[in-house]
């Protein structure tokens, strides 16, 4: 059997600026009670001045490299997961690579929203298993606060998203029994418009116009059919987690820790109930960060590694569902 890939180091970074539910209720018609009841979110972080996802990502990446004991010169590829690239093009992974002083190694973005981190993990694992790389840096970074409609019109989406970044260094596992067991990726593009950001759009002439910022449903802000997304999420999460377990001859009872994407605390509670899992095994930090899409899993994983919930020998599942629709799982023997 070829060497297994493992997470050798992890890092995270969020802006200092805390935005509470009460802060939001001062700029739109919402309340702390509504947001907490429907989502479990108490606060999130928003950048207070210009700062790209790759600026946060670089902080997280340096921490991940230091904790792995791996130098940037030993990194053979950089994968950056985001739905909020710093600029339209080139890929933000290039900007990140420059900030980190990387060699001229491959660097590319993965644009798969809430599943982006797991798609990136799977891509990095494939590079490592194919012998194309020994160490890969995978970073999820998002700046939502500059792209949401912070008025009552945009409240359904605006209250759930936050800014942040998380990074991991992947490399050969020190123990062949431990590390990444498998990854499972899915997409169903026919639901793309249920959760999307339509403008600016290269298929439109012009790509963006003043009307995209006005009206009842402006195309320059994310649009979401919240209940529709919710229903698919609570079906696809248990499905893909079961798929990952079955692929390895394991069962839900074997699972020690579940780290789901942080979109809504209620979704994660539904998932635990559907799997008949003890909720204490599910890692949640959405109360403090909101939904940071591609950054949410590494942010939660970093916390769980630091506080010992994720520790040697444990069976750990990472799982995500989001825009696309896309969904995914990764199973680790830690």
Minimum CB distance to ligand UT7 smaller for 93 or for 286 = 286
Helices (H), the chain: 21-25, 32-39, 53-68, 92-100, 116-129, 155-158, 226-247, 265-274, 286-289, 296-306
Q: Please, what is the minimum distance in Å from the beta carbon of residue 233 to ligand UT7?
A: 5
Minimum CB distance to ligand UT7 smaller for 47 or for 159 = 159
Supply the DSSP symbol for 53. Answer: H
Selection from 262, 309, 313 nearest residue 289 by Cα: 262
As a whole number of angstroms, the distance between CA 268 and CA 123 comes to 26
Q: Please, what is the minimum distance in Å from the beta carbon of residue 196 to ligand UT7?
A: 11
Minimum CB distance to ligand UT7 smaller for 169 or for 317 = 317
The answer to whether the CB of 230 falls within 8 A of the CB of 236 is no
In this chain, which residue has its C-beta nearest to ligand UT7? Answer: 226
Q: Please, what is the minimum distance in Å from the beta carbon of residue 174 to ligand UT7?
A: 34
Query: Given the rule CB under 6 A, which residues bind ligand UT7?
Result: 30, 34, 38-39, 114, 155-156, 159-160, 226-227, 229-230, 233, 263-264, 267, 291, 293, 322-323
Choose the catalytic residue: 114, 135, 232, 264.
114
Choose the catalytic residue: 112, 184, 291, 317.
291
Q: Please, what is the minimum distance in Å from the beta carbon of residue 131 to ligand UT7?
A: 35
As a whole number of angstroms, the distance between CA 124 and CA 120 comes to 6
Which tokens in the block code for residue 119?
């798609």
Minimum CB distance to ligand UT7 smaller for 109 or for 142 = 142
The question of whether 51 is a catalytic residue gets the answer no
Choose the catalytic residue: 261, 264, 268, 317.
261
Question: In angstroms, what CA-CA distances link 48 with 51, 52, 141, 249?
Answer: 8, 11, 16, 48
The question of whether 261 is a catalytic residue gets the answer yes
The question of whether 144 is a catalytic residue gets the answer no
As a whole number of angstroms, the distance between CA 185 and CA 167 comes to 20
Q: Please, what is the minimum distance in Å from the beta carbon of residue 136 to ligand UT7?
A: 25
Q: Which residues are catalytic?
A: 114, 261, 291
């Amino acid at each position: 059997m070829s060497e297994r890939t493992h997470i050798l180091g992890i890092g995270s970074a969020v802006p200092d600026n805390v935005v509470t539910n009460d802060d939001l209720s001062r700029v739109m018609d919402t309340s702390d009670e509504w947001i907490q009841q429907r989502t479990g979110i108490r606060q999130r972080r928003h950048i207070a001045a210009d700062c790209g996802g790759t600026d946060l990502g670089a902080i997280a990446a340096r921490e991940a490299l230091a904790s792995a004991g791996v130098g940037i010169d030993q990194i053979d590829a950089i994968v950056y997961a985001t739905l909020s690239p710093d600029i339209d093009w080139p890929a933000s992974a290039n900007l990140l690579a420059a900030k980190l002083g990387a060699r001229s190694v491959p660097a590319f973005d993965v644009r798969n929203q809430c599943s982006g981190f797991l798609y990136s993990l799977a891509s990095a694992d494939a590079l490592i298993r194919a012998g194309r790389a020994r160490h890969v840096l995978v970073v999820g970074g998002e700046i939502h606060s500059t792209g949401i409609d912070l008025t009552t019109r945009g409240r359904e989406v605006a209250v759930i998203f936050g800014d942040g970044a998380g990074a991991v260094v992947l490399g050969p596992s020190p123990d062949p029994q431990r590390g990444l067991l498998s990854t499972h990726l899915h997409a169903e593009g026919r639901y793309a418009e249920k959760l999307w950001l339509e403008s600016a759009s290269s298929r439109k002439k012009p790509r963006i116009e003043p009307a995209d910022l006005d009206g009842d449903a402006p195309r320059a802000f994310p649009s979401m059919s919240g209940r529709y997304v919710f229903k698919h999420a609570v079906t696809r999460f248990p499905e893909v987690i079961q798929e990952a377990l079955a692929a390895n001859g394991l069962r839900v009872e074997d699972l020690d820790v579940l780290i789901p994407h942080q979109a809504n605390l209620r979704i994660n509670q539904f998932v635990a109930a559907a799997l008949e899992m003890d909720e204490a095994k599910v890692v949640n930090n959405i109360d403090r960060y909101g939904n940071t899409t591609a950054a949410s899993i590494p942010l939660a994983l970093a916390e769980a590694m630091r506080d010992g919930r994720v520790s040697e020998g444990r069976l750990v599942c990472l799982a995500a569902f989001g825009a696309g629709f896309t969904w995914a799982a990764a199973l680790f023997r830690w």
